[in-house]
Structure formats: structure tokens, C-alpha cells
Structure 1
Amino acid sequence: MAYELTGKIKLIQEPQTFNSGFTKREMVVTVDDGRYPQEINLEFVQDKIALLDDLQPGQEVTVSFDIRGREYNGRYFNNLQGWKVVPAAAAAGGYPGDEAPPPNMDPGPAADYGDDDIPF
């Protein structure tokens, strides 16, 4: 099941590669939640770590993620695993400087075709 959150990037960690060849990179996003903002840690794994390359702390983003859970030695752990990051400007309909949408192509008042509704 996919989830989504929007917030400001607080921190982007360097990638970590383990002996098994597994690679992950973590990002912390601050989400406004009333009086107490929440700092949410999300991890990106394998080929998804490249999604963080062009992002900077302080940037507003919307992150799509899955919740992953596992048991280890009788204890249970959860991870938020990101798979998509969209800068807030793009999520709002485009980056600043993008062309405006084409004007409405309304032809104006209908031409007079007599009593017949069909123009041919």
C-alpha cells in the first residue's frame, strides 16, 4: 500500500553500501503537524537512491513511500521506503518559468445556422 507526505527536506545522508551489495540512502523530511512538526526518516534503496541526487535541504517535496515491517530477534521494526520524490513546484503544476497552459480555444458564440442544429 502506498502513502504520501509533503514537507521540507531537513537532511540527506550519503549512500551506504553493505558487504552484501545492498545500498541505501536516508532523507529526513520535516512535516508540519500543528504545534509539533514531525521529522520523518525515509529510506531509499538500490536504484531509488538516485532520486535524491538533485535535491537540497530546505526544498519542499512530496514523497511517495511504502511501509515495510519485519521481525528480528523477537523485536519488530518498521521502515518507510521511498520510491518517488517530486519537488513541490512540480507537484503544484509545474516549475516556475514553465509556459502557461494554452488559452481556452472557445470559438465564441455559435454561428447562426438557421433552424437546423447541425452546421452542415
Structure 2
Amino acid sequence: MEVQGKIKLIGETKEFGSNGFQKREVVVTTEEQYPQHILVEFVQDKCSLLDSYKVGQPVKIGVNLRGREWVNPQGETKYFNSIQGWRIENLVAQQPGGGNVPPPDQFEPANDLNDEDYDDLPF
């Protein structure tokens, strides 16, 4: 699954417990009729993927949905869900003009065409 939108917030990497578990959160605001603010968690070695991103950048994040069951001390069963990121891409580089392609007015015209080359389609 993927979540696409603009970065609203990037949290700091936090460490939990004595075993060194790390988690970092990012909030992405979707761009649709009713924008949603989606919290995505990056854990362990994936935390560093957020280092090169800034608030306001349009991104696409590959996510997995995670669910857990927990029984509290009173014996009640509770369920928790989380959205865990495993990949993040900057969408600006994928938009037209964002890559290494020169603008249309900088292409060289093809002057060496003859009538035989004009229509070489097989159908």
C-alpha cells in the first residue's frame, strides 16, 4: 500500500526500552477533497530514511498495516493498529521538468528527415 501527500511534520527518532528499539514518526497530509493527516511510523534502520526530507515536500510512502492484540490486567482484549513505513520517495523528482530532461524549447529540431522516414509505422 502507499500513502501520498505533503509532509506536515517529521518527528525526532525516539528510543524505547533497554534493547534499543527506535521509532520515528512522520505526518503526511493527503491532497484530496477531504485531506487526511496520516501518521506513519518508521522503525529501527528505516528511521534514517526520513533524514533527507523536509516539511512541505510531496512524497509517496510505501506502508504496511500492522495490528496487535493485547489483553489488559482486567482480562479485556484490546486491538491496536499502526501504519508502518518501509520506503519513501520524493514526488518532485517524478513530476515533468523535475528530472534531467531539458524544457521543450531546448530540443534540437530533426532536420534530416526525408519522405520515406516520415511514416515508417508497420500498420
Q: TM-score normalised by the shorter chain: which range applies?
A: 0.7 to 0.9
1:24-47 per-position Cα deviation (integer Å, ceiling 9, x unaligned): 00000001231x210000000000
1:29–1:41 contact (8 Å) kept in structure 2: yes
Equivalent in the alignment of 2:79: 76
How do 1:92-111 and structure 2 match up within 5 A? 92=95, 96=98, 98-100=99-101
Measured after TM superposition, the shift of residue 21 of structure 1 is 1.2
Q: TM-score under structure 1 normalisation? A: 0.75
Measured after TM superposition, the shift of residue 100 of structure 1 is 1.8
Question: CA separation of 1:50/1:93 partners in 2, compared to 1, >3 Å: closer, same or farther?
Answer: farther
Identity %: 45
Equivalent in the alignment of 2:21: 22
Secondary structure in structure 2 of the residue aligned to 1:49: helix
Higher helix share: 2
CA–CA distance in 1 between the matches of 2:39 and 2:10?
A: 10
Question: CA separation of 1:91/1:99 partners in 2, compared to 1, >3 Å: closer, same or farther?
Answer: closer
Q: TM-score under structure 2 normalisation? A: 0.73
Q: CA RMSD in A?
A: 2.3
Equivalent in the alignment of 2:32: 33
Aligned residues: 104
Q: What residue identity is the alignment partner of 1:84?
A: R
CA–CA distance in 2 between the matches of 1:69 and 1:91?
A: 32
Equivalent residue in structure 1 for 2:54, among 33, 53, 56: 56
